[in-house]
Structure 1
Amino acid sequence: MLPFRFIHAADLHLDTPFSGMSGVPEQLRQYLQGSTFAALGGLVDLAISEEVDFIVISGDVYDASESSLRAQLRLREAWERLGQHGIPVYVIHGNHDPLNSRRLRLAHPPHVTIFGAKVESINATRRSDGETVAVVSGISYPSAAVMENTSLQFRRDLASKLYHIGLLHANVDGQEGHDAYSPCSLRDLQNTGYDYWALGHIHKRQVLSQSPWIIYPGNIQGRSLKETGPKGCYVVDVGENGEANPIFHELDHVRWSEIEISIERLLTEEDWKEAVEEQIEELRENSVGRLQVVRITFTGRGPLHSLLQSGRESGELLQELRRRENVRLQGSENGVGSLGSIVWLAGVKVATGMDIDTSTLLQEDSFLGELFRLSARAEGDIELLDSIVESALAPLMDNSTLRGLLKEEGANSNTKLELLRRAQELASSLLVEVDSRGGMGQ
């Protein structure tokens, strides 16, 4: 087998609108809206510098089915740059940009292959000598919602000794938080005999298997606080023995982060303010030229809990930190070039607890002790957790609007755990307050 190198990317979501963020200066807003295009440019730069033989893109090139002309022109520009360096591109379309999308269709250059609504295969060659090195197969979504297991249409050509790469936009093993489009199992993919599965649809980077390689690269640019951490693509080297070595490369120009600050050792408001400022400066030092968008969650138990519960202090600190970043932005001589030093605070969240000894309370024969013991059991027992949450929310289910919101927000176990913990803290705060006034005993 001849050695070769390719890039696996997915979920470009070009021209994402980034709606829903408030209080953002116009300069930052424009930078956010251009970040998917900047990541695309980085993908092209990487392909050229790494001298890859070809690129595979596993769906959702555009963010919306009615993609903007701007998105199509920027993509065409990227294709042309790759063509100038002799780098072919193999693309499938997903649920965000299905084949039946209503949009002006610009012609693709001849070195760009768009797979159709049935599995198609094409021989990929090595740029240096034109030798065939791999079989690339893929299938695009004909419409936005594909509910069948399309992985069953893939079958390796057993007579071929070439490396086989499959492009699929799918939800493998029913991952939470994503539509169950083109649902399949890990076993389905392994049974096809393919050497590498280039997946798309799930925006969290994951290596599901190494034999064969089955990989979600995630999207190339995070778009909200639901998509935190480094975003990018894989450069994959395939050796003469057929062994692959995928290496992740960061492409994002905006890094979304969730950080936690515990109040356990913070005794005063000054301690609290300094802890926040230290975290902001640490993020700034490690930004490597990327705009940082951050949400801070305050956790732990301590004397500042009651102060933070009102939300006033954290809200005022949020506004002050935003003001400082705005001053930093406006005072820069380089304008947009300064955005790599900006740490924009998207919000704060208070998930603190009362300054009480929970280990002692768990042993205490009291109503509050029983409350904490029940909560502790529910955290390790999904059925009990479901029962508690469903029972508590039952009175709200008669309202259709609330019912829809609750079903949407409370569908996964993490959300239910958060609801349980917040209820526990609220109840304990009220109980201790009543107890302190002499209105409640053991």
Structure 2
Amino acid sequence: MPAFRFIHAADLHLDTPFSGMTGLPDRLRSHLRESTFAALGDLVDLAVSEAADFLVVSGDIYDASDSSLRAQLRLKEAWDKLERHGIPVYIIHGNHDPLSSSRMRLSSPSNVTVFGGSRPESVTARRRSDGQPVAVVSGISYPTASVTENTSLLFRRDPDSALFHIALLHANVDGQEGHDAYSPCSLKDLRDSGYDYWALGHIHKRQVLSMSPWVVYPGNLQGRSLKETGPKGCYIVDVPEDGKAVLHFRELDHVRWTELEVPIGDLPTEEAWKERVEELLEDSRDPAGGKTGIIRFTFTGRGPLHHMLQSGRECADLLLELQRRESMRMEDDPSTALQGVVWPVGFKVKTGVDFDRSQLVQEDSFLGELLRLADEAEKKPELRDSLVDSALAPLQEHRYLRGLMKSLGSEERLDLLQRAQELASSLLTEEGPKGGNA
């Protein structure tokens, strides 16, 4: 089999509105809105500079089914550039941009193949240098926004072809939490299919679920919230003559979202706390100056600053001051594209009162029993769910709150349990001597 190279990307979410972001300077908001398009431009430039034989995109190219004309024009501009360089593009649509979308239909250049939604379709991909066939690329798009059947079972490898087989699928493998169970399938389903490479989309976290065969989520090109932290981009996939592919991740994001944990145990004063936050913010700046940062600080641990942080006033004041400084940084150099700017979007407080928990959990007291129950609930999801459901039962009468309760995932339930534990511990330890029985 001839050696070849392709690029695997997914979840471009072009023209994401970032509507949940409030309080941003206009220039930063505009930069954020442009970031998905900038990442697309870098994806195209990467395909050209790395001499990729073709590009596969595994769904959710647009952020919404009624995607803007601007998004469609920018996408067509990107595909046109790849056409000029002779690079084919193979595409499926996902739950955000199904084939049934009401968007205006712009014609695609001849190098773009969009797979249909009734069954998996296949095409032969060729090496650009000499036109030799190198791979069978198969894919299936979402005909509508909700696909609940296991479409992976519809894929069939051509038994008469010795070419490398690539499958494009927008799916939730093994029910990954926090994501809709669209096109649900198991890793076993994919491994048993006979395909060499499953080019997945839908989950925005970069993951390699299997190496034999390759089952890969590249994540999205550009993070869109604090739920999508860390580097974002695509995979360059080199397939040598023996068919044993090698993957290389390439960063393409222009705005980097970051959650920074700040333990307070060794911070004795407010001044030390302020200096630690400022130091971490400076350390978060892209040393190459190429990315804009959006950061949230989460304060954790136990220490003398717990009550100060719980009040929220000092946090709010410091946040406003840090944002004022970043605004001035942008104003001082309006010619830059906001490289090196780090915008602090908020503070999250998950601290606890300063006491010896290991001692209290051993005590024959109400607080000791509470802490032991909390520890057990953290290890046993069924107990945790029972405690949370029982505590939230009075809210069932409110329709809106009832809907929120149904959407709680295991991490959110664990967070509620931990916050309740800390609040109870704080109240009970303040009633008597520190570390004593309540």
Measured against aligned partners, the alpha-carbon deviations of 1:140-191 in whole angstroms (never above 9, x if no partner) come to 1111111111111101011110000000001111111111111111111111
Aligned: 1:50 with 2:50? yes
What amino acid sits opposite 1:432 in the alignment?
A: T
Q: In 1, are the aligned partners of 2:286 and 2:292 still within 8 Å (CA)?
A: no
Q: Secondary structure at the match of 1:19?
A: coil
Matches within 5 A, 1:98-137: 98-117=98-117, 118-137=119-138
AA of the residue aligned to 2:243: G
Map 1:63-82; keep pairs closer than 5 Å: 63-82=63-82
CA deviation profile, 1:101-124 (whole Å, cap 9, x unmatched): 111111001110010112110000
Q: CA deviation at 1:407?
A: 1.6
| TM-score under structure 2 length normalisation | 0.98
Q: What amino acid does structure 2 have at the position aligned with 1:77? A: E
The equivalent residue for 1:279 is 280
Q: What are the equivalent positions in structure 2 for 1:37-436 lying under 5 Å apart? A: 37-117=37-117, 118-286=119-287, 288-334=289-335, 336-337=336-337, 339-408=338-407, 410=408, 412-435=409-432
Listed as ranges, the gaps of 5+ residues in structure 1 are: none
- Regions of 4+ moved over 3 Å: 285-288
Matches of 1:103 and 1:308, distance apart in 2: 48
Q: How far apart are the structure 2 equivalents of 1:99 and 1:144?
A: 8
Q: Structure 1 stretch 356-365 or stretch 199-208: which is displaced more?
A: 356-365
From the superposition, tell whether residues 387 and 273 of structure 1 become closer, same or farther in structure 2 (CA, over 3 Å): same
Q: Secondary structure at the match of 2:101?
A: coil
Instruction: Assess, with a 3 A threshold, how the Cα gap between structure 1 residues 250 and 285 changes in structure 2: closer, same or farther.
Output: closer
CA deviation after TM superposition for structure 1 residue 286, in Å: 4.1
Residue 69 (structure 1) shift: 0.5
Residue 435 of structure 1: how far off its partner (Å):
2.4
* Alpha-carbon separation, structure 2, partners of 1:106 and 1:441: 71
SS in 2 for 1:106: coil
Deviation by residue 1:236-290 (Cα, 9 ceiling, x = unmatched):
0001001000111000000001110000000000000001001001001546410
TM-score normalised by length of structure 1: 0.97
Structure 2 SS opposite 1:397: helix
Aligned 8 A contact 2:367 2:437 in 1: no
Amino acid at match of 1:269: E
- State the shift of 1:37 in Å: 0.1
Instruction: Give the letter aligned to residue 391 of structure 1.
Output: S
* 1:264-322 residue CA offsets vs partner (Å, 9 max, x unmatched): 00000000000100100100154641000011100000000011111111111111100
Once residues 219 and 45 of structure 1 are traced to their aligned partners in structure 2, the CA distance between those partners, rounded to angstroms, is 17
Rounded to whole Å, the distance in 2 between the matches of 1:62 and 1:21 is 19
Encode CA deviations 1:210-240: one digit per residue, 9 max, x unaligned: 0000000010000011111100000000010
Equivalent-residue separation in structure 2 for 1:383 and 1:172 (angstroms) = 23
Q: Distance in 2 between matches of 1:138 and 1:390?
A: 42
Tell which deviates more after alignment, 345-354 or 282-291: 282-291
Question: What is the aligned length?
Answer: 436
The answer to which of 315-324 and 388-397 deviates more is 388-397
Deviation of 1:402 (Å):
1.1
Distance 1:414 1:147 in 2: 24
Contact 2:11 / 2:61 at 8 angstroms: preserved in 1?
yes
Q: CA deviation at 1:100?
A: 1.0
State the Cα distance separating 1:433 from its structure 2 match: 2.4
Secondary structure in structure 1 of the residue aligned to 2:352? coil
Paired AA for residue 47 in structure 1 = A
Q: Distance in 1 between matches of 2:238 and 2:265?
A: 47
The one-letter amino acid paired with 1:216 is Y
CA separation of 1:59 and 1:333: change in aligned 2, threshold 3 A: closer
Amino acid at match of 1:197: W
Q: Distance in 2 between matches of 1:413 and 1:95?
A: 24
Could you tell me how far apart the structure 2 residues matched to 1:313 and 1:287 are?
32
Q: Secondary structure at the match of 1:426?
A: helix
* Equivalent position amino acid for 1:35 in 2: S
Kept in 1: contact 2:287–2:340 (CA 8 A): no
Conserved? CA contact 2:69–2:104, under 8 Å:
yes
Other structure's SS at 1:172 match? coil
- Superposed CA RMSD: 1.3
